[in-house]
Amino acid sequence: MPVPVIMPKFSMTQEEGRVMAWLAAEGDVVEKGDPIMEVETDKVTMEVEAPESGVLRGVAVQEGDVAPVTAVIAHIVLPGETWSPKSVKATPVARRVAAVAGIDVGDVPAAGKVRRQDVEAYLDKVRATPAARRLARAQGVDLTAVNGSGPRGRVQAKDVVSPVVVSPVVEEKVAKPVSTMRRTIAERLTQSYQTIPHVTFTVAADMTAVTELRQRLNAREDAEKVSVTAVLVKVCAWALGRHPLVNASWQEDGIHEHTQVNVGVAVALEEGLIVPVVHNAAQLGLGAIAAQMQAVTARARNGRLQPADVQGGTFTISNLGMWGVEQFTAVINPPQSAILAVGRTSKQPVVVETAVGDELVIRPMMKMTLSVDHRIIDGAVAARFLQDVVTALEQPDTLLW
Amino acid sequence: MPYQTVTDERKQIETSGLTPEQLLEALRKMHLIRAFEEKAEALYALGKIHGTMHLSIGQEASAVGACLALRPDDTILSTHRGHGHCIAKGAEPPLMMAEFFGKEVGYCRGRGGSMHIADVAGGNLGANGIVAGGLPISTGVGLSLQMQHTDRVCLTFFGDGAANEGAFHEALNLAAIWRLPVVYVCENNQYAMSMPMKAAFPIRQISERAAAYGIPGVTVDGNDLLAVYEAVQTAVSRARAGEGPSLIENVTYRWRGHSKSDRQRYRTRDEVKEWQARDPIIRLENLLVGADLFTAEQLADLGAEARQTIEDSVAFAEAQADPDPATILEGVYA
Amino acid sequence: MREQVLEKASGEPLQAANRELTYSHAIREALQLAMRRDERVFMLGEDIGVYGGAFGVSDGLIEEFGAERVRDTPISEAVIAGAAIGAAVTGMRPVAEIQFMDFITLSMEQLVLQGAKMRFMFGGKASVPMVLRTPAGSGTGAAAQHSESLEAWFVHVPGLKVVMPSTPYDAKGLLLAAIEDDNPVIFVEHKLLYRTKGHVPEGYYTVPLSQSEVKREGRDVTVVATSIMVPRALEAADLLAQEGIELEVVDPRTLKPYDADTVTRSVCKTGRVLIVHEAPKTAGFGAEVAAEIVAGEAFDYLDAPIRRLAGLDVPIPYNRELERTAVPQVADIVREARALARGEY
């Protein structure tokens, strides 16, 4: 039996992938483990390896084309086997339905033998009204990801976006085609903002201690440079461990508190942004955190991210301080329950209490705004979490506790 | 047909009140119609004209005799066999030929063709593709002329076939009850396509139907220009005087088939030859020569002159521009 | 506006301000004003004189204008149409009446092959400024040969215009516009509308042809309705408003040439459309309305399938209940519009 090569699924939310390049051509002999193609998902570009040794046959997706995940896009014909497209296993009914629809039954993704249901599922186009399609085009929403509220699941305008003033525009400029990444961002943010009740809390931290700490650490010649963000990752990871509700997800069946603390850091790219994840950040030292962040960011900029680089985040930090932003609020990255938006550090007059009374001093201050999923996190929980973050920033030795 | 004596012929012409000039002009028009149609037929054979056409060769006296009784401001309605009526009412052969060729300068800007040729300014409200289609309209024209208190009249041509359409009855009845100034001229050319008049009517003469509407009905030899003229003149005078419509039946014969696709299985060659011997043009020439108004020599070149006029018309028409397709919608709505 | 003292058939003077007239009186007033204003305007038809028309529309006009201008004809539908055409093409402005729209079948040749085409066939060198008024529709128990709604036939003929008013105000203004128009206009009245009342200003005014009108604004569903279906749609809209569903009712008023833009704008707003007419659904005017929507700008705003609610494909039956069943009623419009608004289609 020829072994199918499928469009792999690299992440939970991924629904399709684009074949960027075939590294082996139709008829090439490949060894198991050889890279045979490059696939672009919404997040990363991946190499896909040959599942077996043999001859690559039946390449069904051309470079640049998109296939749904798990779709069979080629086969590896094992030594001693002959290749014929008919070697796809399918029921007679499935073959007939596929033939009537003018598709190759071999194109139909199926777990094992292709059945009639598989073909029908494959053929099922998105049912959506013209108005829903127009809105989806304008807003970069992938209709296949939208649950339709109309008869037989038809997507209606309100499913794409809740009440929007639809002006009877007679002219509309053709929208700029959007990248997979932009489309994903648009979908995720829309979904997040529409379904998660956001509440925000802003605090300021005195960064004197962090500044001194970074100066000391970065003075060491053999070490990675430690950024404010790296410190924030460490600090947040510690605080998240103390406040599990901030490290949780709202699910249909209840609140899931995550056992790991994986802190994502938003990184701007030309096309949008990605969120590399520092796994088990609470267990890592600042050097390791800084090194991991740099490596992932470099891979992201080269388009070589591994799925693990961006998966599994339980909390996100978005730092725009380096761009001079004073403070801002961020939209939660679902299924997470909170995101910390970090502004710049600037010298501010601060009143401090001393034994001799109040004194006006100048301190490097940094504002942070925490957006939380109010379904999970009450105001007091958010406040206590932020209090810990501020304390740890102002007195880093707290982390040693 | 027995030849008449000189005195009979003179007497006849004097009774009609027509001048020698009018008669000569009538003869010219008959030649022109003949030449126009013979040329049209030839052009069709050459593939220069498309569609179809219905030729009235042999019926020229009916068209010319009837229109001779009209003033320029009177109105006619014509039939699918309408080239003769058009020329008789005073249309310009070059503009007619241009319409035949579908040219922009044609009477109908190339939109009408042979079957809808009209000269609205000249008082011809058009040939008509529908048998009896013009009859109700002519009643309306008569109504209009009456309501505008003019002494103008409307004359409508139709064939023997049309007299069996319901519209014939409705049109004549309404014109009769309202005493409208309309002259209904039935050109009985013996066949409604292939249906012989004798088989289609239970009466000897179509004019008998006038009695049903209480209006005058008269049947004349449609190949006799003077007979046609006199009958129509009487009807026109009646109409102008507000005395209402009349029905005239011109008994004639079409030499050609119904249209270009007619194999003429319904009649014999002998029958056609018999009618060709009663050529209305020769008949009028004989009358004019017999009455000593013109010599044979004086009339000898009329046919050739007419043919030359038509040749010139063809040359004119062929040189004209086709309508611009961008103007196709013009004239659908006012 | 010129001061006009108008009288009803009974002779009682009409109130000047905010006065209401029936649809039938509004049409009569239009005829009266047109004939007073223009000597070329005259009427012809069956029983329109002393009888006053089969539905009383021309009641009293023969007294004012005489038998010369209010002409009773024999029962001759072909020549009624033909005489109107012939008079129109030679300088008059006739208004013909065909007593029931059903009988227009007897006028078809003259209307379709002669009147509609004459101007075009003659290279634009003639015009046929005539109006043919005719009462259409069911609801009178007159059964299959006196209840036809044949407007779509004429919409299909280049050269004809087709007007179908739904209110007394429109009936008067559109009829005056039709009489002013230089083309043959088929003016379709509805028997059940004759007795409906509405505001009609005094004096001469026209409602331009080829302008659809929004009869009621609403955000949820566009209802495109013609003739008798307009008041029914408005009644349905009142009922649904109590449920919080707002219908926008658009009346094309002129079916040919049809102003699709108004419907387009409305559908762009609501995204849902119900088309309602009395004539049978198959190849009815609603098909044209629907086609204009999907073929144009409104397509991208459709948020549900276009629904058509029209007469059944059946001759109008005699039995009262069957007759009602054959054509859309208020409850049908309510049901369909509600389902559309709720996203059930």
Alpha-carbon Rg for chain B in angstroms: 19
Chains A and C: 3 or more CB pairs within 8 Å of each other:
yes
CB within 8 Å: A168 and C268 = yes
Residue C1 is predicted with a pLDDT of 36
Q: Is B327 among the domain residues?
A: no
CB within 8 Å: C303 and A131 = yes
Which chain A residue is nearest to residue C266, measuring alpha carbons? Answer: A168
Residue A330 is predicted with a pLDDT of 92
Q: Which of B162, B168, B84, B166 is nearest to B130 (CA)?
A: B162
CB within 8 Å: C304 and A129 = yes
Which residue of C269, C301, C344 is in closest CB contact with A130?
C301
Which chain B residue is nearest to residue C121, measuring alpha carbons? Answer: B112
- Say yes or no to pLDDT of C7 above 70: no
Taken in order of first residue, the domains within chain A and their CATH numbers are: 3-87 (2.40.50.100), 130-177 (4.10.320), 199-400 (3.30.559.10)
Mean pLDDT in chain A?
83
Structure tokens at C309: 């609610």
Domain of residue B51, residue span: 6-319
| DSSP string for C107-146 | GHIIIIIIITTHHHHTTT------EEEEEE---SS--TTS
Residue A354 is predicted with a pLDDT of 85
| Phi, then psi, of A69 in degrees rounded to 5 | -60, 145
Looking at residue A79, the DSSP 8-state letter turns out to be T
Which region among A118-122, A145-149, A346-350 has the lowest average model confidence (pLDDT)? Answer: A118-122
Helices (H), A169-315: 180-195, 208-218, 228-242, 286-302, 307-310
CB within 8 Å: C300 and A134 = yes
> How does residue A141 score in pLDDT terms, banded at 50, 70 and 90?
confident
B172: number of CA atoms within 13 Å, CB side? 28
Range list for CATH 3.40.50.970 in chain C: 20-199
Q: Is B221 among the domain residues?
A: yes
- Say yes or no to pLDDT of C173 above 90: yes
Number of domains in chain B: 1
Residue B52 is predicted with a pLDDT of 86
- Say yes or no to pLDDT of A183 above 60: yes
Which residues on B lie below 8 Å from C120 (Cβ)?
111, 331-332
Chain C contact present for B46, CB below 8 A:
no
Q: Say which of C29, C46, C97, C146 is annotated catalytic.
A: C146
Neighbours of chain A (3+ CB pairs under 8 A): C
Which residue of B118, B139, B148 is in closest CB contact with C122?
B118
Which residue of C265, C302, C344 is in closest CB contact with A130?
C302
User: Any residues with CB less than 8 A from the CB of A215 and at least 6 apart, and which?
Assistant: none
CB within 8 Å: B133 and C42 = no
Chain C contact present for B333, CB below 8 A:
yes
Following CA atoms A326, A327, A328, A333 in sequence, which dihedral angle do they give, to the nearest 10 degrees? 120
Chain C contact present for A254, CB below 8 A:
no
Which residue of C264, C269, C303 is in closest CB contact with A129?
C303
Chain C contact present for A95, CB below 8 A:
no
Q: Does the reported pTM lie above 0.80? A: no
A141 neighbors A187 (Cβ within 8 angstroms): yes
- Say yes or no to pLDDT of C195 above 60: yes
Q: How far is C342 from chain A (nearest CA, A)?
A: 9
Between CA C104 and CA C70 the distance in angstroms is: 20
CB within 8 Å: B332 and C119 = yes
Q: Which of C229, C214, C302 is nearest to C259 (CA)?
A: C214
Chains C and B: 3 or more CB pairs within 8 Å of each other:
yes
Which residues on C lie below 8 Å from B170 (Cβ)?
74, 76-79, 82
CB within 8 Å: C302 and A133 = no
Q: How far is B329 from chain C (nearest CA, A)?
A: 9
Q: Is B330 among the domain residues?
A: no
pLDDT in tens, C261-308: 999 999 999 999 999 999 999 999 999 999 999 999 899 999 999 999
> What CATH number has the domain bearing residue B90?
3.40.50.970
pLDDT in tens, A185-228: 787 888 888 889 999 999 999 999 999 988 888 888 777 788 89
Residue A66 is predicted with a pLDDT of 84
Complex ipTM: 0.91
The dihedral built from the CA positions of residue B118, B121, B124 and B125, taken in this order, carries a sign that is positive
Neighbours of chain C (3+ CB pairs under 8 A): A, B
Between CA C16 and CA C27 the distance in angstroms is: 17
Mean pLDDT, residues C81-88 taken together:
98
User: Which residue numbers of A are catalytic?
Assistant: 374
pLDDT in tens, B107-124: 999 999 999 999 999 999
Which residues on C lie below 8 Å from B322 (Cβ)?
none
Residue A193 is predicted with a pLDDT of 87
Higher per-residue confidence, A100 vs B280? B280
CB within 8 Å: C79 and B145 = no
Chain C contact present for B174, CB below 8 A:
yes
pLDDT in tens, A95-121: 776 766 767 777 777 777 887 767 766
Higher per-residue confidence, B246 vs A4? B246
Mean pLDDT, residues C147-167 taken together:
98
Q: Say which of C29, C46, C77, C148 is annotated catalytic.
A: C77
For the question of residue C190 being annotated catalytic, the response is: no
Which residue of C265, C303, C345 is in closest CB contact with A168?
C265
CB within 8 Å: C76 and B174 = yes
> How does residue A259 score in pLDDT terms, banded at 50, 70 and 90?
confident
Which residues on A lie below 8 Å from C302 (Cβ)?
129-131
- Say yes or no to pLDDT of C171 above 80: yes
pLDDT in tens, A289-318: 888 888 888 887 776 777 778 788 899 999
Mean pLDDT in chain C?
94
3-class DSSP string for chain B: CCCCCHHHHHHHHHHHCCCHHHHHHHHHHHHHHHHHHHHHHHHHHCCCCCCCCCCCCCCHHHHHHHHCCCCCCCEEECCCCCHHHHHHCCCCHHHHHHHHCCCCCCCCCCCCCHHHCCECCCCECCCCCCCCCHHHHHHHHHHHHHHCCCCCCEEEEEECHHHHCHHHHHHHHHHHHCCCCEEEEEEECCEECCEEHHHHCCCCCHHHHHHHHCCCEEEEECCCHHHHHHHHHHHHHHHHCCCCCEEEEEECCCCCCCCCCCCCCCCCHHHHHHHHCCCHHHHHHHHHHHCCCCCHHHHHCHHHHHHHHHHHHHHHHHCCCCCCHHHCCCCCCC
- Say yes or no to pLDDT of A180 above 80: no
Residue B133 is predicted with a pLDDT of 96
Q: Of 3.40.50.2300, 3.40.50.1360, 3.40.50.920, 3.40.800.20, which CATH number belongs to C213-341? A: 3.40.50.920
Range list for CATH 3.40.50.920 in chain C: 213-341
Chain C contact present for A144, CB below 8 A:
no
pLDDT in tens, A6-36: 888 877 677 888 888 899 988 889 998 888 9
CB within 8 Å: B136 and C86 = yes
Which region among A5-14, A68-77, A224-233, C113-122 has the lowest average model confidence (pLDDT)? Answer: A5-14
Residue A160 is predicted with a pLDDT of 85
The domain made up of C20-199 has a fold known as Rossmann fold (3.40.50)
Q: Is B324 among the domain residues?
A: no
Residue A4 is predicted with a pLDDT of 85
Residue A174 is predicted with a pLDDT of 53
Helices (H), chain C: 23-37, 61-69, 77-89, 108, 118-121, 151-155, 168-180, 229-241, 260-270, 285-295, 320-326, 330-341
Which residue of A130, A149, A151 is in closest CB contact with C300?
A130
Residue B213 is predicted with a pLDDT of 98
Which residues on C lie below 8 Å from A131 (Cβ)?
271, 300-303
- Say yes or no to pLDDT of C183 above 60: yes
- Say yes or no to pLDDT of C190 above 50: yes
Residue A87 is predicted with a pLDDT of 62
Which residues on B lie below 8 Å from C76 (Cβ)?
170, 173-174
CB within 8 Å: A129 and C302 = yes
Q: How far is C229 from chain A (nearest CA, A)?
A: 26
Residue B177 is predicted with a pLDDT of 98
* Number of C-beta neighbours around residue A82 at 10 A: 8
Residue A176 is predicted with a pLDDT of 62
Q: How far is B98 from chain C (nearest CA, A)?
A: 13
Neighbours of chain B (3+ CB pairs under 8 A): C
Mean pLDDT, residues B294-298 taken together:
95
